[in-house]
Structure 1
Amino acid sequence: MLPSKSQNTRQQIIDAATRLLIEEGAGGFSVRKVAQGAMISLGNLQYHFPTKNDLFYGLFEQVKDRVIAVAATEQEEEAQLFAYVDAIFEEWDTAAGSIPVWELGAMAAHDEDLAEMLHNLYTPFRKRLTWLIVRNNPDRSVRVCEHQATCIVAMIEGSGLFDAHSRSNRAEFRGMRKQLREIIKSIIYR
C-alpha cells in the first residue's frame, strides 16, 4: 500500500527537521526553517505538527521505530536484546540517527515535555531489560534490576560520546562496543 499524501508530507517535514538539527543544531532550529526546508507553508507544517514538540515527538518516534523494527526480527530473548543494542549502535553511526537525538537531549534540559519524551523513548527498552535481569536473577529485588537496566541504557547512550558519527577520535575506541556487550551480559547473567 502506498503512503498517503498526508504521510508523505509528514515524512517530508520530519526529514527537513532532521536535516536542520544536523546542519544547525538546536540553536538554529525553528519550525519556520523546517517549513522552508520541507518546501511547505508554515500553516501546512502546523496542520501536521501543531507544536514544535509535536514535531520532535514525530522525530523521536521514527528513531525508536527503526530500532524496534530491527530488534523485532529476532525470536530468542538474548538475540533480541543484542539486536536492539546493535540497532542503537547503527543509529550512532549515522548523522540522522545520532545528532538529532543528542540535540533533542540537550533541549530536554530546558523543556519538561521534551525530557518526558526522552524518558518515554527509553522506557520500553528499560522495562524489557528489567524483566530479563529479574528473570535471570530471581534473588535480586525488582528495584535493583530496574537500576541495573537504567545503568545499561546509560552506558549504551554514553558510548555515543566516544564512538559515533562525526567523532574524530573513534578509532581510539575500536572494540569498545564488544566490551560493552560483555559488560551487559555480566550484569544480566551474573
Structure 2
Amino acid sequence: MEILKKSISPNLYEKILNSNLNSVSLLLLKSNVYLQQYFDLTSLEVTHLRNALSHSILRRKFTPASDVRSWLRLTTGCQSIDSVTSGGIPVNGITEIVGPSGVGKTQLCLQLAIMVQLPVNLGGLHKGAIYICTEDLFPSKRLHQLATCFSDYNTIMNNVFLEHISDYVSDFCILPTVTIMLLGAIAQVLSNSNTHVIVKA
C-alpha cells in the first residue's frame, strides 16, 4: 500500500488505510460503483484510483531465474523419464501428462502416488497422495501390484487417498472434499503434513 501514497491524494490514502479494504487486491476486486460510494469519490477519482492500483502491481520487479530456489522434484522411478523431466516431476505446480490411450499415463500416475511416499534421499517426499480417478474403474489391481514391490506395503496403500469422479458434475462435488483434505494437511504443516501430491488421472 505504501507505493500508492505518491499516486493518490493524502486524504484518500488515509481513508483506504482506515478501511477494511486495505490491500491492493481487495480494492481491485470491488466495482467502480462500490468504490465510489464507499470512499465518497467521483467517477474520475475512481478511475484514477484504479489506474494507481494497477500501476502499483505492474511496478513489482520480476525475479531473475538465478534468484529462484530450485524446485523440489519427485522421481518417477524411471531414469529415462527423470532425465527428460530434468530430475523428475516438479511439485510446486501442475504437470499435465498427455498421450494416446494405452501409452502408460495411468501407470505413471499410480507410480507417482507411490514414489511420493519414499524418503527424500530416495527421490520421494515422504508424503501421501490424493488420487482423483476419472476413469470408469479405479485400477486398484495395478496399484496393489506396484505397492507389493515395497516392504511397507500396508503403509503405502494407506497413504494413497482415492476420490472418484466419472462425470463433469462430480468434478464440482469433489472440490469440497479435496479442500478439506488439503486444509487438514496444511494445518499439520508444522508437525507432520502428510499429503503432497494430487494425481488426477
Using structure 1 for the length normalisation, give the TM-score: 0.29
Structure with the bigger percentage of helix: 1
Structure with the bigger percentage of strand: 2
Question: Which one has a bigger Cα radius of gyration?
Answer: 2
